[in-house]
Structure 1
């Protein structure tokens, strides 16, 4: 637009239309400068967004390292849950076997042997119940901390994005007001 306005300077501005031509020229120059200002401000916003994007990548990498303990807690509780389930099934089968032998009138040696296996299965089951309780407590604590950390990050992200959008909106609004003023002066 600026080039077009300058190119009109080469033409003769004689006659009764000359004052209108000057208004048109100054109005066009103002319009061109408004557009140029919009582009400059938008480029600043783009740089800010790119910088923010880089910061976000670093923050996500840092957070991923910070919450690696949560992944370990999740894997730990999953493996203990599986082991607990197997221990429970073993406990149930050994107890049922022990009761069956007592009811069927098996020899005392067989009943005692089944009782020892039942006792061992009971101890193993209790051990896994305790391990599960400990792992569950650790899991809940780490998941709470991680969820709070993610929530804080997301709140900050949304707040920053809101500011960028607000800045963009204000920039466009200001330039359009200037363009409107330029048109009002022209008409």
Structure 2
């Protein structure tokens, strides 16, 4: 289990466009279709990573808790499914259905979207405001698979609530830590 930190790209970075297939419906979804009135949360996750498995129930809870509040939420898996079959779209679909994800789950087969976002690990979180400018990139909370800290989603939830309240999100943010994205050999 290699620990990789998120890249912590500059706040204010514009959200890169995407057009990816949803693992449940097979339909393509774009950035513009998924953005909410107040912004968009983009989460890079997968099925097999112990760091994601540790927080996936909280991700489902965030999806339910923020549904209809004006922040679009999307999960994207960019792992090489040939090398990691557990992260193939059919397996991701089972994960989403089992956990009751209340948000779209897209598959980035070419890995171009992960590269455009500078995503480095799973989970990796990017919260954009209504102008699709980055206001938060970092950890879900202080919990990790081995540290016995309860999973609460505190850091990400706080940023999302501040965004909904039209208040500034503090710039002091801790990087997410997870497994590295499983890049294809080029």
Q: For the superposition of Structure 1 and Structure 2, which TM-score range results when normalised by the shorter chain?
A: under 0.3
Which structure shows the bigger proportion of residues in helix conformation? 1
TM-score for the superposition, normalised by structure 1: 0.16
TM-score, length basis structure 2 = 0.16
Higher alpha-carbon Rg: 1
